[in-house]
Structure 1
Amino acid sequence: MDSEFLLWLGIGALGQLIDGAIGMGFGPIVSAVLLSLGVPPIASSTAVNAAKIATGAASAASHAWFENVDRRTFRHLVIAGMLGGLVGALILSQIDGKAVLPFVNAYLVLLGFLILYRAFRPVVPKLPHALGIAGTGLAAGTLNAIGGGGWGSITTAGLMGQGQSPRFAIGTANAAEFLVALVTTLAFSANFGSVPWLNVLAIVAGGFLTAPFAAWLAKHLPIKLMTVLVAVLVIGLSGYGLWQHLTKLAS
C-alpha cells in the first residue's frame, strides 16, 4: 500500500469523522484537496459525490442504528435534495459554479452566528415545517452539485436554524446524503473519465473506517457542545471561502 493511497485514506477518514459527528465537512475537505491538485471543478464534484455514495451509505446505516434519524424530516429532505442535485448538475454544465459560492458562503456565515447565538440562548427543539425542510434540501442539493460540497453545512445548519435538535439534524442530513449523492453522481456520468477513481476508492475506504464512531459521537455529545461545534465549523469554512473571494477581488 503506497503513501499516496494512505494519504487519501486519511483524508477520507478525517472528512467522514468530522462530517458524521457534527454534520458537515466531508465535501469541503475533499473538494479543497482535489481542486488544489488541479482537478477541474466538475470532475471534483463528480468525485466527491461518487465517494459520498459509499461513505454516505455507511453513515446512513450508522446513524439509523443509533436512532439519530427523524423519518419525517428525512422524507422531505431527500426528495428535495435529489431534485436539487439534478438542478445543480444542469447549472454546473452551463456556467462557472464558483460564481454563486461567495453568496452561499455569506449566507452560511450569518446562519452560523445564528446557531452560535442559539447555543447560549437555547430553545426547546421542534420539528421544522415541511416547506422549510424541502427548501433547505433543494438549496443544499443544488449547491452541493455546483460546488462539490455544502450539503452538510446547509442542511445541518438549516434544520438547526429551524429548531431541530442537533442530534437529529446531523443524523438525518447524513442519512439523506447517500441518495442525493447517488442521483447527483449519475447526473455527472459524462465526466466519469476525468475522475481520479483510485483516490476516490481510498477516500471511501477511509470513510468506512470512521463512519460508525462518528455516528456514536453524534448521539452522545452534549447538545450545547454539538451546537457550538457546528456553528464554529460553519463560520470557519464559509468565512474562509468568503475571505478568499474578497482577497481575489481586491488583488
Structure 2
Amino acid sequence: MLENIDWARLAEFIAAGFAAQIVDGALGMAFGVISSTLLVSVLGVPPATASASVHVVECFTTGVSGISHALHKNVNWKLFWRLVLPGIAGGVTGAYLLSSLDASVTRPFVMTYLAGIGLYLLWRGLRKPPEPKEPKVIAPLGLVGGFLDAAGGGGWGPVVTSNLLVQGATPRTTIGTVNTVEFFLTVSISATFLFHLGLEAFTTAVAGLLIGGIVAAPFGAMFAKHIPARTLLILVGVVLTITSLYSVYRALS
C-alpha cells in the first residue's frame, strides 16, 4: 500500500496544509482561502475536490488548533460560551438553506465588506494603539458568522475575529477563542457530509493537508501568544484585506 503513494505529491499537500494552518492558527482566519488557493492555483486540484478536501481537513485541524490555544491560555471561556451556541445554530441553519441560497451573488458583497474591515484594522494598528474593551455584540455575530461559513463555504474566522477586534477585543484571546469555537462549528456543519463521504474522502490531498495542518497547529497558537497585540492587529488587517480582495476578484472574474 505504501509503495503506491506518490510521496512527492503528498509532500506538496503537506506544505500547503502547514502554511495555511500557521496563518490560521496565529491570526484566526484564512485556512480555507489559503489552502484552497494553493490546491487549485498551484497544485492543479479541481475546485470541487479542493473544497471537499479542505472541508474534511478543517474538522481535524480546528480541533488540534483549539486544544493548542487552550493549552497556551489563549481562550476567553466567557466569550467562548457566548459564541459557540449561536455559531452552531447559524451554521446548521446555513447548511439547511445552502441549496436555496445563491452564494455566488452574496459572496462578493461579504468579501468587499471584510476587505473594508481589514483596511480599518490595518489603519487602527498602524495609527492608534489598540485599547482593549469588552465586546458587546457577540451572539448575533456568532449567528451570522456561522450562517455565512456554512452557506458561503467559509467565513467564520474573517467575520467573527475581525468584528470582535473592531469592537476592541484583545487580539490574542479573540483569535484563540474564535479558533476553538470553530471546531464545534465545523463538526456540526460537516457531520452529515462526512457520514456520506466515508473513507473515500481521504485522498492524497486530504492526507497531506491533514498532516501539515496538524503539525502546524501548535505553532500557530504559540505565535498568537507571543506576538504583540498591535502586531497581531496589523497582521490580521493585512491578511483579511488581501484574502478578501482576492475572493472578490475570483468571484467577479
Q: Same fold (TM over 0.5)?
A: yes
Q: Distance in 2 between matches of 1:32 and 1:105?
A: 16
Q: Given residue 38 of structure 1, which amino acid in structure 2 is its aligned partner?
A: P
Q: Distance in 2 between matches of 1:141 and 1:49?
A: 14
Q: Distance in 2 between matches of 1:85 and 1:34?
A: 25
Whether 2:63 is the aligned partner of 1:52: answer: no
State the aligned residue count: 243
Length-normalised TM-score, structure 2: 0.88
Q: Distance in 2 between matches of 1:34 and 1:103?
A: 25
Q: Given residue 72 of structure 2, which amino acid in structure 1 is its aligned partner?
A: F
Q: Given residue 105 of structure 1, which amino acid in structure 2 is its aligned partner?
A: M
Superposed CA offset, 1:43-84 (max 9, x none) = 655532321121111101110011000011111111111112
**1:236 alignment partner in structure 2:** 242
What is the RMSD of the two structures over their aligned residues, measured on CA atoms?
A: 2.1
Structure 2 residues not aligned, in runs of 5+? none
**1:222 alignment partner in structure 2:** 228
Q: Distance in 2 between matches of 1:33 and 1:86?
A: 28
Q: 2:118 aligns with which of 109, 112, 120?
A: 112
Q: 1:152 aligns with which of 148, 154, 157?
A: 157
1:160-239 equivalent positions in 2, closer than 5 A: 160-189=165-194, 192=197, 196-198=201-203, 199-239=205-245
Whether 2:19 is the aligned partner of 1:8: answer: no
Q: 1:93 aligns with which of 99, 102, 107?
A: 99
User: Residues 103 and 244 from structure 1, CA distance in 2 versus in 1: closer, same or farther, beyond 3 angstroms?
Assistant: same
**1:30 alignment partner in structure 2:** 35
Q: Given residue 15 of structure 1, which amino acid in structure 2 is its aligned partner?
A: A
Q: Contact (CA 8 Å) 1:45, 1:147: kept in 2 or not?
A: no
Displacement of 1:175 in angstroms is: 0.7
Q: Distance in 2 between matches of 1:31 and 1:141?
A: 19
Displacement of 1:156 in angstroms is: 1.2
